[in-house]
Amino acid sequence: MNKSFSKPSIKLAGDSAVNVDLGDIIHPEINFSVHTFATHIQKNNPQWLIQIIPAYKGMLIYYDPLSIEFENLKNYLLKEFETMDKSTNNTSSTLITIPTLYGGKFGPDMENVINHTKLSKKEVINIHSATDYLVYAIGFSPGFPYLGGLSQKLNTPRLNNPRTKIPAGSVAIAETQTGIYPSPTPGGWQIIGKTPVKLFDPERTPPVLVNPGDMIKFEPLKNLKEFAEIENKIKQKKYSIKTNEIKK
């Protein structure tokens, strides 16, 4: 599949927002076109624009209905989509390594995953940590990355009874997705591990660690001692997160 730039489907979403759909499946190349188009609109900075929220295969655009009518907005978006630079040359993203301690008290749902997938704990860890995951979108809570590309071998349904509070740093899976809870929140994904790295830190600039289009790689930690050492370095602001620029 080549980089996809299908004509947008634009529909009203209330009285001050439109839903712009660029595809009918979840795919990295469709997601690439979503972020390319969102960046293009934001650079133009039209006076009616309030906010753009990119997602897997489209985006929600909030606009000022007193500044532009829907039909004019629709025509503007279609025109800009046709005329924007769709070149993919020299594009790159950041690969962010997330140290993770799997199982034990940090992975209370590891047994659920093992029982559902018929894999061993070691196999679950090896499979989960073998993929470089694309950050399709940020949502649910500040800094929560929706990561696509989870192996079908790990496909496990959500919990029947979601938790009312999940610890920050929890690494979890749900069906075809994986993600990291940046702060203590309710949630229904299967928790298989935890990272000491803070994905959202209001004292950091910028406060969100990852962005849509970035890649995440999970690096298994051997034991609680390694986890505690990294956690302590982070508290002392002496820990450097591993990042690499990768060409697309």
The CATH number covering residue 223 comes to 2.40.100.10
Q: 240-244: long-range contacts (C-beta < 8 A, 24 or more apart)?
A: 241/96, 241/97, 241/197, 241/209, 242/96, 242/97, 243/94, 243/95, 243/96, 243/97, 244/94, 244/95, 244/97
Residues near 30 by beta carbon (within 8 Å), at least 6 away in sequence: 4, 6, 22, 23, 56, 57
Burial label, 7 (beta-carbon count in 10 A; 0-12, 13-18, 19+): exposed
Domain span at 79: 9-83
Q: Give the Cα separation of 230 and 226 in Å (integer).
A: 6
Q: 198 and 225, same structural domain?
A: yes
The residue that leads in pLDDT, 72 or 28, is 72
* Residue 170 placed within a domain: yes
What's the structural domain count of the chain? Answer: 2
The CB density around residue 27, as the number of other CB atoms within 10 Å, is: 16
Domain boundary at 60, 83, 106, which? 83
Q: 97 and 78, same structural domain?
A: no
* Residue 48 placed within a domain: yes
Q: 160 and 51, same structural domain?
A: no
The residue that leads in pLDDT, 127 or 22, is 127
φ and ψ of 118, to 5 deg: 65, 25
What pLDDT does 32 receive?
Answer: 85
Q: 64 and 100, same structural domain?
A: no
> Does the pLDDT of residue 1 top 50, yes or no?
no
> Does the pLDDT of residue 88 top 80, yes or no?
no
* Residue 152 placed within a domain: yes
Domain boundary at 35, 51, 83, which? 83
Segment among 87-96, 102-111, 155-164, 175-184 with least mean pLDDT? 87-96
Q: How many CA atoms lie within 13 A of 7 on its CB side?
A: 4
> Does the pLDDT of residue 137 top 50, yes or no?
yes
What pLDDT does 55 receive?
Answer: 86
> Does the pLDDT of residue 110 top 70, yes or no?
yes
Q: 76 and 18, same structural domain?
A: yes
100 closest CA partner among 212, 215, 190, 231: 231
Q: 101 and 68, same structural domain?
A: no
Share of the chain above pLDDT 70, in %: 94
Q: 138 and 27, same structural domain?
A: no
3-state secondary structure of 192: strand
Domain boundary at 37, 63, 83, which? 83
pLDDT in tens, 159-177: 999 999 999 999 999 999 9
* Residue 2 placed within a domain: no
Q: 158 and 42, same structural domain?
A: no
Q: 165 and 55, same structural domain?
A: no
> Which residue intervals of 16-56 are DSSP H helices?
28-44
* Residue 4 placed within a domain: no
User: Mean pLDDT, to the nearest integer, of 84-107?
Assistant: 83
* Residue 1 placed within a domain: no
> Does the pLDDT of residue 5 top 70, yes or no?
no
Q: 146 and 23, same structural domain?
A: no
> Does the pLDDT of residue 89 top 60, yes or no?
no
Q: What is the pTM of this model?
A: 0.81
* Residue 3 placed within a domain: no
Q: How confident is the model at residue 72 (pLDDT cuts 50, 70, 90)?
A: very high
Q: How confident is the model at residue 2 (pLDDT cuts 50, 70, 90)?
A: very low
Q: How far apart are the first and last CA of the chain?
A: 14
Q: 235 and 121, same structural domain?
A: yes
What mean pLDDT is reported for the chain? 91
* Residue 163 placed within a domain: yes
> Does the pLDDT of residue 18 top 90, yes or no?
yes
> H/E element holding 106?
none
Q: 122 and 218, same structural domain?
A: yes
